[in-house]
Chains A and B, each alone.
Chain A
Amino acid sequence: SQQGEEDPQALSIQEGENATMNCSYKTSINNLQWYRQNSGRGLVHLILIRSNEREKHSGRLRVTLDTSKKSSSLLITASRAADTASYFCATANFGNEKLTFGTGTRLTIIP
């Protein structure tokens, strides 16, 4: 069963605009991670946010975590064509080295 569910399933925006993707999960977590997957490639780790953190930044990426609502959001600012990819959230439970992935958001940046 999927722990994380991304929303929306697909998103198309103009280059330069900001993109926001959301992830909801069901049980308590130790950390939540976001990954990117370009077509035909393996996943690439973007950012990890721990359960005691509320916001984290990495370059043009901003991740928020609301444990009371069991949700996270990934914001990509000033989008570029190279940001076109699928984005997945993944959750890790306490004392567990396994990740549970959502089904992903397909982001398309229109030049």
Chain B
Amino acid sequence: DAGITQSPRHKVTETGTPVTLRCHQTENHRYMYWYRQDPGHGLRLIHYSYGVKDTDKGEVSDGYSVSRSKTEDFLLTLESATSSQTSVYFCAISDRGDEQFFGPGTRLTVL
């Protein structure tokens, strides 16, 4: 987990509220990714970034938005949280777009 942190690590929120998760890296890697991990589904890509202000959608992007205004920070926003977004969220970084390094995860519960 060295060089990549996620905040908060745990969050409980209510349906309909906006939530922002933060990923911060100190490695100056170009690529950053947000995944969610659910039982039976493995990891699924939500959004990723290939540079400052450059982002693209992943497999399960509905209901999520992202922003990257600085190389080191990648924010994931749940615009109006739903119970189906209860999950563990992982951020990952990559220098050349091949092997990825993962953060410790954020456990989000939407009541």
Give A residues with C-beta under 8 Å from B. 1-2, 31, 33, 35, 40-45, 48, 88, 90, 92, 97-104
Contact = CB atoms under 8 A, between A and B. Distances in A.
Contact of A48 (B35, B44, B98, B103): B98
Q: Which 4 A-B pairs have the closest CB atoms?
A: A97-B97, A42-B102, A103-B42, A101-B43
Contacts of B41: 2, 103
A110 B56 CA distance: 43
Given A42-B102, A44-B102, 16 more contacts: A33-B98, A40-B105, A41-B105, A43-B43, A43-B90, A43-B102, A48-B98, A88-B42, A88-B43, A97-B97, A97-B98, A98-B45, A98-B48, A100-B59, A101-B35, A101-B44
B50 A42 contact: no
Nearest to B30: A97
A79 to B, nearest CB: 23
B98 A103 contact: no
Nearest to A89: B42
Contacts of B92: 42-43
Contacts of A44: 102
A31 B43 contact: no
A42 B33 CA distance: 13
B58 A98 contact: yes
Interface in B74-107: 90, 92, 94, 97-105
5 contacts: A1-B59, A33-B98, A42-B104, A45-B99, A101-B42
A43 B41 CA distance: 15
Contacts of B97: 92, 97
Contacts of A90: 43
Contacts of A92: 97-98
A35 B100 CA distance: 9
Contacts of A40: 105
B105 A42 contact: yes
